[in-house]
């Protein structure tokens, strides 16, 4: 059972310094790398720490609520939440912990946070800002190069010892495809999408995009109002959009068919943006040429069929994770909490649908 | 046994057009991809075709010499030679076929052509010019991203079905390292090295270089006169130099130790530029952090120890090979042959050590 005392470890506590506030830390246990970057948070605040708990999340939250009700833990004022865990910051969570007035996502995406509910209750929401943007953009470029140039497949080929036999047998290793000149359609031109576009343009690609709104002359890329039309005019589709009700499965069968048999899909956003069964079918039937996937519909599970395909490269939702970005994330999270506890705006706020909801909830 | 008649197939022959000249085509048999791009060459010229022969190269050359001597084949005037095969255009070859007055390398490198001998005899030499440069540069960037971001290792991890167990077990997948900000030392600032430097600078790296001569203000990169000093000031060493007696094993133990335990080696040039045993030892002992290798000392053999390392990515000397580059290569080779047979300079000449040798051979 989490208690404030039980969590009051660390240098400040050892020095007799009173920790100023209690913070939820809800990260799934696998993300030890992420967590290590947040050691400073544990030193600075009382932490209701799901990561350190051995209970399932519902039991952990129930125990935390009981501890707060009994006075064993002080009410948590903020919640720091991992982006790929079981946690959902929704009405039920906010009802259970009305003392939480600030939610900080450790991810760029906030699809696990009910922004309408946060807006209605005046709860501030922050995300990871641009901490990950360059790393995710690099990962997208890396996945695309991998798929086009068949690097992972070649690496497996060499490791299996097939290269010498191939030479002796007069065999032929399939040719890759050139990056330069490829027409790349970027879906979502936010922080990450913009960096992907800039990188691929520097590498000789012709970039177009789809986004909620056209940027006009602010960007040198052609705008397509629909993902389907973007796909029809592209050799490569790179998904860099948030997962919302508007983008869910925005890459469906029609879009894949528009992309066509020479087409490549790269997804570093959220698995839910793609109709995964349709993607697997298109790859299996050769209706598209390949895919580089960092995200999946039901992580950590991937469609078994993909594991036998040489034109697919898969990674473990790792686009954001480098040693360097973890340090930056720790610094930003502390800075956001400090701003919030000082009564100032968070540094990397997520835009909330405040206006509409305020009208709705007025008596 | 190769004969001119036996090779006189193709559209032109079918149309009764007399082929103007005989050309050697010496490509090892595995390179079917390369060969397919040269179909036009077979149609246009009589071809003494090692690729189509089932004999070992020495037997093939002996039979070709006999065929020429007997008049069964007309003397070959040019030789088109693959860069990764058994062929060496040296004094013995040129003695056996003195009618060859032009040697065209299908590779950027010409380490299998004795340039001194060609210069002495007035034989023109051409290489593949810039046909491959962008693809090789892209491949270098891709290998670096792969090693830094652990993409191939992650792909294997996912394919082996280890991701779900890792999540359940609270396991931790090792973090990658950020590309941006890395100090990259490029060895060899020719066509390919320059494109690598430009790409990596656009991706946020700090580029320095070593080359036969400093470029001064012509390039925005810091020059190091020695590979060792370049390595000492770099996080990543990218080899993009030709293989010459000066560069052979230029990455030795001292250079690897100067690069240090956080360092990464990327080699898309020639395996001989690296002391491979020292590289394997440095990787094994953790004295450097990783390597991306498209080339090896004794291709197609790779050191078995590398096949168990997750911080190594290997490809099959494939940096140059894309569908697009093969088309460009076919076009360039025909254009070089047409220029030579028209008595004009080849389009992509290799600079020969003419001045020195002319002095030496003067009577």
Residue of B nearest to A300 (CA): B164
Considering only CB atoms, which chain B residues are within 8 Å of A318?
149-150, 154, 173, 176
Sequence-ordered list of residues with C-beta below 8 angstroms from that of A90, at least 6 positions apart, any chain:
A113, A114, A117
- The Cα–Cα gap between A96 and A69 comes to 10
The closest alpha carbon to A290, from A273, A275, A277, A306, belongs to: A306
Q: What is the pLDDT of residues A334-343, one digit of tens each?
A: 999 999 999 9
- The Cα–Cα gap between B183 and A267 comes to 28
What is the number of helices (H) and of strands (E) in chain B? 16, 12
8 Å CB contact of B318 and A149: yes
- The Cα–Cα gap between A215 and A219 comes to 6
In this structure, are residues A140 and A163 in contact, taking their beta carbons and an 8 Å threshold?
A: no
How far away is chain A from the Cα of B122, in angstroms, using its nearest Cα?
34
Classified by CATH at the fold level, domain B4-131+323-361 comes out as Rossmann fold (3.40.50)
C-beta contacts of A296-302 below 8 A and 24+ residues apart: A296/A271, A297/A271, A297/A272, A298/A271, A299/A84, A299/A271, A299/B163, A300/B163, A300/B164, A300/B166, A300/B167, A301/B163, A301/B164, A302/B158, A302/B163
- The Cα–Cα gap between B302 and B236 comes to 22
**Residues paired with residue A207 on neighbouring β-strands, in sequence order:** A184
Is pLDDT at A358 greater than 50 in this prediction?
Answer: no
Q: Parse chain B into domains and list their residue ranges.
A: 4-131+323-361, 133-314
Q: Same fold for the domain at A4-131+323-361 and the one at A133-314?
A: yes
How much of chain A exceeds pLDDT 90, in percent? 70
Measure CB to CB from residue B178 to each of A166, A314, A324 and give the nearest one. Answer: A324
- For A142-201, give the DSSP string: HHHHHHHHTHHHHHHHHHTTHHHHHHHTT--PPPB--STT-EEEEE--SHHHHHHHHHHH
Sheet holding B183-187, edge to edge: B222-223, B206-210, B183-187, B236-239, B264-267, B290-293, B312-314
How far away is chain B from the Cα of A161, in angstroms, using its nearest Cα?
8
- The Cα–Cα gap between A290 and A263 comes to 7
Q: What is the pLDDT of residues B153-194, one digit of tens each?
A: 999 999 999 998 887 766 566 789 999 999 999 999 999 999
- The Cα–Cα gap between A27 and A50 comes to 7
Angle formed at CA B108 by CA B275 and CA B228, multiple of 5 degrees: 35
The b-or-e profile of A102-140 (16+ CB within 10 A means b, else e) is: bbbbbbbbbbbbbbbbbbbbebbbbbbbebbbbbbbbbb
Helices (H), chain A: 4-7, 11-14, 32-36, 39-44, 57-70, 91-96, 115-121, 133-149, 151-159, 162-168, 191-202, 227-232, 253-259, 276-284, 323-341, 354-361
Considering only CB atoms, which chain A residues are within 8 Å of B141?
141, 145, 203
Sequence-ordered list of residues with C-beta below 8 angstroms from that of B97, at least 6 positions apart, any chain:
B24, B64, B65, B68, B75, B76, B79
Say what the pLDDT of residue A84 is.
Answer: 64
The model's confidence at residue B107, banded by pLDDT at 50, 70 and 90, is confident
Considering only CB atoms, which chain A residues are within 8 Å of B183?
none
8 Å CB contact of A324 and B150: no
**Model ipTM?**
0.85
Which of the pair, B175 or A354, is modelled with greater confidence?
B175
Neighbours of B363 (CB within 10 A): 2
Considering only CB atoms, which chain B residues are within 8 Å of A152?
146, 151-152, 155
The model's confidence at residue B56, banded by pLDDT at 50, 70 and 90, is confident
Say what the pLDDT of residue A3 is.
Answer: 40
Is pLDDT at B4 greater than 50 in this prediction?
Answer: no
Say what the pLDDT of residue B18 is.
Answer: 60
Angstrom CA distances, A231 to A8, A214, A234, A252, A263, stand at 53, 16, 5, 11, 9
Q: What is the pLDDT of residues A41-89, one digit of tens each?
A: 888 888 888 877 888 889 999 999 999 999 998 999 999 998 666 788 9
Is pLDDT at B317 greater than 60 in this prediction?
Answer: yes
- If you average pLDDT over residues A205-226, what whole number do you get? 97
In this structure, are residues B361 and B353 in contact, taking their beta carbons and an 8 Å threshold?
A: no
Query: Spelled out in words, what is the top-level CATH class assigned to the domain B133-314?
Result: alpha beta
How far away is chain B from the Cα of A345, in angstroms, using its nearest Cα?
29
The closest alpha carbon to A300, from A277, A278, A318, belongs to: A318
Which residues of A does the annotation mark as catalytic?
270, 299, 317
Neighbours of A220 (CB within 10 A): 10
Is pLDDT at B17 greater than 60 in this prediction?
Answer: no
Residue to substitute from B33, B143, B145, B181, interface A, most A β-carbons within 10 A? B145
Residue of B nearest to A195 (CA): B203
- If you average pLDDT over residues B310-332, what whole number do you get? 92
In this structure, are residues A42 and A23 in contact, taking their beta carbons and an 8 Å threshold?
A: no
In this structure, are residues B210 and B258 in contact, taking their beta carbons and an 8 Å threshold?
A: no
Is pLDDT at B130 greater than 90 in this prediction?
Answer: yes
8 Å CB contact of A318 and B150: yes
Read off the tokens for B200: 């990596």
- The Cα–Cα gap between B363 and A83 comes to 80
8 Å CB contact of A323 and B177: yes
Say what the pLDDT of residue A56 is.
Answer: 87
The model's confidence at residue B50, banded by pLDDT at 50, 70 and 90, is confident
- The Cα–Cα gap between B173 and A337 comes to 28
Considering only CB atoms, which chain A residues are within 8 Å of B156?
156
- The Cα–Cα gap between A332 and A127 comes to 10
- If you average pLDDT over residues B81-92, what whole number do you get? 83
8 Å CB contact of B167 and A300: yes
Say what the pLDDT of residue A172 is.
Answer: 61
Is residue B270 part of the annotated active site? The answer reads yes
Angle formed at CA B263 by CA B257 and CA B266, multiple of 5 degrees: 105
The model's confidence at residue A214, banded by pLDDT at 50, 70 and 90, is very high
Measure CB to CB from residue B173 to each of A161, A313, A316 and give the nearest one. Answer: A316
- If you average pLDDT over residues B56-78, what whole number do you get? 92
- Cα A111 from chain centroid (whole Å): 9
In this structure, are residues A327 and A131 in contact, taking their beta carbons and an 8 Å threshold?
A: no
- If you average pLDDT over residues B218-241, what whole number do you get? 98
């Amino acid at each position: 059972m989490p208690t404030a005392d039980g969590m009051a470890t660390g240098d400040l506590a050892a020095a007799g310094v009173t920790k100023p506030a209690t913070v939820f830390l809800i990260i799934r246990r696998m993300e030890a790398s992420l967590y290590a970057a947040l050691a400073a948070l544990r030193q600075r605040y009382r932490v209701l720490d799901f990561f350190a708990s051995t209970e399932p999340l519902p039991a952990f939250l129930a125990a935390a609520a009981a501890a707060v009700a009994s006075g064993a833990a002080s009410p948590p004022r903020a919640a720091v939440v991992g982006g790929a865990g079981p946690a959902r910051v929704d009405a039920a969570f906010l009802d259970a912990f009305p003392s939480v007035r600030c939610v900080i996502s450790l991810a760029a995406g906030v699809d696990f946070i009910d922004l309408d509910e946060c807006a209605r209750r005046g709860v501030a929401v922050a995300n990871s800002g641009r901490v990950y943007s360059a790393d995710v953009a690099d990962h997208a470029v890396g996945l695309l190069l991998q798929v086009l140039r068949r690097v992972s497949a070649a690496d497996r080929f060499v490791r299996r010892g097939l290269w010498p036999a191939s030479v002796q047998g007069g065999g032929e290793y399939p040719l890759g495809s050139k990056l330069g000149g490829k027409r790349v359609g970027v879906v979502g031109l936010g922080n990450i999408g913009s960096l992907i576009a800039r990188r691929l343009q520097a590498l000789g690609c012709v970039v177009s995009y789809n986004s909620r709104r056209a940027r006009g002359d602010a960007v040198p890329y052609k705008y397509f109002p629909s993902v389907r039309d973007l796909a029809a005019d592209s050799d490569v589709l790179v998904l860099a959009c948030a997962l919302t009700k508007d983008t869910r499965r925005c890459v469906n069968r029609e879009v894949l068919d528009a992309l066509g048999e020479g087409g490549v899909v790269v997804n570093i956003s959220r698995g839910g943006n793609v109709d995964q069964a349709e993607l697997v079918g298109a790859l299996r039937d050769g209706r598209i040429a390949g895919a580089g996937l960092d995200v999946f519909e039901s992580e950590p599970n991937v469609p078994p069929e993909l594991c036998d395909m040489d034109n697919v490269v898969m990674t473990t939702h790792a686009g954001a994770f480098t040693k360097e970005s973890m340090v930056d994330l720790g610094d930003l999270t502390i800075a956001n909490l400090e701003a919030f506890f000082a009564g100032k705006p968070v540094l990397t706020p997520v835009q909330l649908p405040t206006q509409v909801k305020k009208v709705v909830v007025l008596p």
